[in-house]
């Protein structure tokens, strides 16, 4: 498993899920510059209880796609 910077708000599992998502939809896409901001958003959402996520129409598995929804079109997800 690749190492994450010490200042990343993501757990190793969250970072791996985000990496897998970006690899699956983002070929040719380099999100390195805005990744810290997106990691913070993902960590904040992941801290919510499942019921709160359901009320927002989200699941834990959909969080990476949700935080990149403005850059990656839904048809590629």
Identify the sign of the CA torsion 4, 1, 13, 56. positive
The predicted structure's pLDDT at residue 48: 96
Backbone angle region of 69, left / alpha / beta, with phi > 0 → left and psi within -120 to 50 → alpha? alpha
- Spell out the domain ranges in the chain: 12-76
The answer to whether residue 10 scores a pLDDT higher than 90 is no
The string of pLDDT tens digits covering residues 16-46 is 888 888 888 865 666 777 888 999 999 999 9
**Global confidence as pTM:** 0.71
Of 47 and 26, which is predicted with more confidence? 47
């Amino acid at each position: 498993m690749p190492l994450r910077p010490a200042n990343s708000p993501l757990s190793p599992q969250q970072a791996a899920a985000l990496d897998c998502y970006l690899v699956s939809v983002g070929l040719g896409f380099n999100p390195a510059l805005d990744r810290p901001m997106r990691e913070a958003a993902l960590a904040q959402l992941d801290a919510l209880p499942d019921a709160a996520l359901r009320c927002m129409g989200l699941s834990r598995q959909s969080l990476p796609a949700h935080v990149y929804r403005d850059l990656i079109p839904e048809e590629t997800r």
